[in-house]
Chains A and B, each alone.
Chain A
Amino acid sequence: MRKESFRKMTAVALAGVMTAATLAGCGGSAKKEVKGGSAKTESNAKGDNNLRVTVQAWMMGKYDFEGAKSSFEKNHPGVTVTYNQVDNVDVTTSMLEWSQGKTSCDIAIGGDRSQTVPYASNDYIVEFTDDNFFNGDFTKDKFYDTFLENGNIEGKQFMIPLLGEVVGIVCNIPMMKEAGLVDDKGEIIPAKDWNELYEYAKKLTKDGQTGFGIDWGANMMLYTYEACLNGVAGTIFKDDDKTMDFTGDKVKGLMETWKKLVDDGYTTTDVFADMDANRTQFKSGQLAMHLAPASRWIEAGENLGAENVGVMPVPGTDEHGSLNYIHGMVIPKVSKNQDLAIQFMKEELLKDSFQQGAINGYGKMSPLKAHYDNLDNKYWPEVLKFTENAITAPLYKDTTKLDTYIQTEVQQYLTGAESVDDFQTRMDEYIGKLDLSNGMS
């Protein structure tokens, strides 16, 4: 009898503990929605000296974040820097946290303003002003305008660029030389227009070697289209200067050239399934030209030899500018370490030695002009030329929908499932239905 009572009590106690644990795990303090307007900018005096930085995992391999951490901790005794690696920018998680007045980071690195708009419209992130950031060695004129623009929404800077990318054509120089496409100095002769580029691709395609790879993958489709269109047309917009253009002869000409490249076998569509297919092929020496972020030119040097890789502008972008994008840094307003976060960004993440490693090793462009003074590679002036004039992607509330539509329709067109007229008509219809406001109101 005693044994049975003991067993029952143990069972009840166990059930009670499990219930309590479940409830404790699920529950939390009473949630108050913290709108940014009421959240004050906290001074560092209230922080806990543990600076938490959320970083995308791929960045850890390309930048010396551990070095930055050691240096900052040495210069600021008592301060600890902790990194939280994530796979990708996770707007949903950040929104959930910050709306509840909590944050798991003091600096969130990754993405550009299209991912930042939801935060900014809900007043969850700090605005960088002349007072709190753009002063001393970090005044706005020290930055590339095009990179800063990628973190600017309605004239307010909500994101500071950590690195920038610009779209260009990365080339395998020995292959280009064999095809007679380099000059006497051994430098690539840039293609003047898409007809010439088609001829280049034709000359460069042979057994075991693809002439040209265009980044039509999920991560780059919209950027590729914008860069190419800006090159041929000098703008990516219709006459209203706001709606992206999918109609007109320039677009038709561009799309038809792309189709011809695919149909004639000078370009592959492997990127539809594997967005890194062209990158892999280029680095393994099976692709002659690769329309991609220009940083691939430095990155491929590790496999092919730095002297064997060069870059040329997408036709027309040397005159009209290419397209650039960034990976930037934001500070949540609920962070209690805002001042410390800004110090870390300025002292470590934007310092010369931190940026130089990534510039020289991977071609990741620094947002600061001073970091380009002593670079070795002879193609940097070319890249900087089409960066300075580069445009930024338009900021639409429905950018993610546009991104999906253009991927789908380009794939349909290039696989022969629809005509170029269908493509233009459908894309024009789609963009007509989208919300082209920036999402701030």
Chain B
Amino acid sequence: MKMGYRKKSMLAGYAFAAPGMIFAVLYMGYPLLRSFYLSFTNYNFAFDSQPALCGLENYINMFKDSYFLDSFRNTAVFTLAFFPSLMILSLIIALLLDKGVKGSGIYRTCIFMSMVVPLSLTGIIFQWIFNNQYGLLNSVLTQIFGLKSWTHNWLGEGKWAMFSIIVVSLWKNMGMLVIFFMAGLANIPDDIIEAAKIDGSNSIQTTFRIILPNLKESYIVCGVWAIIQSVKVFEQPFVMTNGGPGTSTLVLYQYTWQNAFKYYEMGYASAIGYFMGIIILILSAINMFANRDKNVDEVKSKRKRKGVVSHAE
């Protein structure tokens, strides 16, 4: 029997998707399932011939492990500082670049150039810049601005080490989010903005009442991306401070790496990895929920609760 057009079209689609799907299943699906299984086992890759099931022991032991708790705390601190800073700064820069100020081409190049530098190289360069003895930053502060009191051991003192890592991460990641936001800004129809101007809206009102609310899809995309970058931070603390001094910049990703590739404890590392995955999922879900499209009834009931009277009603 001759195949219908629709069925043929479906088969063609599957045929094209097949290589990618096989790749995804083999290189992503299988490792996911395997590491999920390993997270319930004790397995030292170097010394054990087979994994041994241990139930939830790895997940329970995590919360008794001071190094895990330190890395969890540090990741939370990093996320809380990095995520909002990244979103706000990137949005501001995108708005400024979108306005087309003089020299925006050069500013755009400067912002985007940070994206092409590999993360590990970024870490090495900034390690030199932040060096206490001969670093560029301390030299500039002392010799050019005469601000010796502002100099610090940027990578050798706990709080300043985390601050330095946040600054470097912002420098590195801003470019990507600026691109996303600029794409979102480009999608806002000019008619709405013109209409607002005709109605007498000034630039601040236009920005806050028209432009920002229309960037909802961008917030979702940028938010998810920024959350992943926050929770998965690794190269900067690894290269710049190796998690030190002490454990002040030890993050979850590095601790997972240490357990997997330094101690060969694959079971425990898998458990920490899955814990990180759950955190990312929860935060992404919160981000999507906060930026969801609210329908009219939901908005009305919210206003009623707040006691706002609508003329339209």
Contacts and interface: CB of A to CB of B under 8 A. Distances in A.
A269 B245 contact: yes
Contacts, number: 111
Interface in B206-260: 240-247, 258
B18 interface: yes
B23 interface: yes
B27 to A, nearest CB: 8
Contacts of B157: 415
Contact of B15 (A15, A218, A408): A15
Size class of the B contact interface (CB-based, 8 Å): 35 or more
Nearest to A8: B12
A113 to B, nearest CB: 13
A400 B133 contact: no
A23 B27 CA distance: 11
A145 interface: no
Contacts of A16: 15
B47 A411 contact: no
A1 B244 CA distance: 68
A338 B247 CA distance: 44
Interface string A87-112: 00001100100000000000000000
Contacts of A409: 246
Contact of A270 (B15, B133, B243, B247): B133
Interface in A25-39: 26
B16 A210 contact: no
Interface string B132-168: 1110000000000000000001011110010000000
Contact of A273 (B19, B23, B46, B244): B244
Interface string A259-282: 000000000111011110100010
Interface stretch (B74-82, B261-269, B284-292): B261-269
A91 B155 CA distance: 30
B36 interface: no
A18 interface: yes
B264 A92 contact: yes
A86 interface: no
Contact of A22 (B22, B130, B240, B263): B22
B22 A273 contact: no
A18 B19 contact: yes
A19 B261 contact: no
B130 to A, nearest CB: 8
Contact of A397 (B47, B243, B244, B246): B47
A15 B11 CA distance: 11
Nearest to A273: B155
A15 B45 contact: no
A439 interface: yes
A404 B246 contact: no
Interface string A198-216: 0000000000001000000
A274 B243 CA distance: 12
A268 B130 CA distance: 14
A233 B132 CA distance: 33
Given A15-B19, A91-B46, A121-B47, A407 B133 contact: no
Given A8-B12, A121-B47, A268-B133, A273 B246 contact: no
A117 B47 CA distance: 9
B26 interface: yes
A273 B15 contact: no
Interface residues of A, number: 43
Contacts of B246: 408-409, 411-412, 415, 417
Interface string B32-60: 00000000000001110000000000000
B89 to A, nearest CB: 25
A269 B22 contact: no
Interface string B77-110: 0000000000000000000000000000000000
A22 B47 CA distance: 32
Contacts of B156: 269-270, 272-273, 415
Given A415-B157, A439-B47, A273 B12 contact: no
Contacts of B128: 274
Contacts of A270: 131-133, 153, 156
A272 B133 contact: no
Contacts of B245: 269, 272-273, 411-412, 414-415, 417
A283 B45 CA distance: 40
B270 interface: no
A408 B247 contact: yes
B122 interface: no
B158 A400 contact: no
B169 interface: no
A19 B22 contact: yes
Nearest to B250: A408
Contacts of B262: 400, 404
Nearest to B157: A415
A277 B131 contact: yes
A210 B18 contact: no
A115 B18 CA distance: 42
Given A22-B23, A411-B245, A269 B153 contact: yes
Given A118-B47, A273-B244, A400-B262, A22 B19 contact: yes
Contact of A274 (B8, B67, B127): B127
15 contacts: A11-B15, A11-B16, A19-B22, A26-B27, A92-B261, A273-B240, A277-B133, A281-B134, A286-B133, A400-B263, A408-B243, A412-B245, A414-B245, A417-B158, A417-B245
A-B complex: 10 closest residue pairs judged by Cβ atoms: A118-B46, A273-B155, A412-B246, A18-B19, A15-B15, A411-B245, A411-B246, A269-B156, A272-B245, A272-B244
Given A22-B26, A269-B132, A415-B158, 19 more contacts: A11-B12, A11-B15, A12-B12, A21-B19, A22-B22, A92-B45, A270-B131, A270-B132, A270-B156, A272-B241, A272-B242, A272-B245, A286-B133, A400-B262, A407-B244, A408-B247, A411-B245, A415-B245, A417-B245
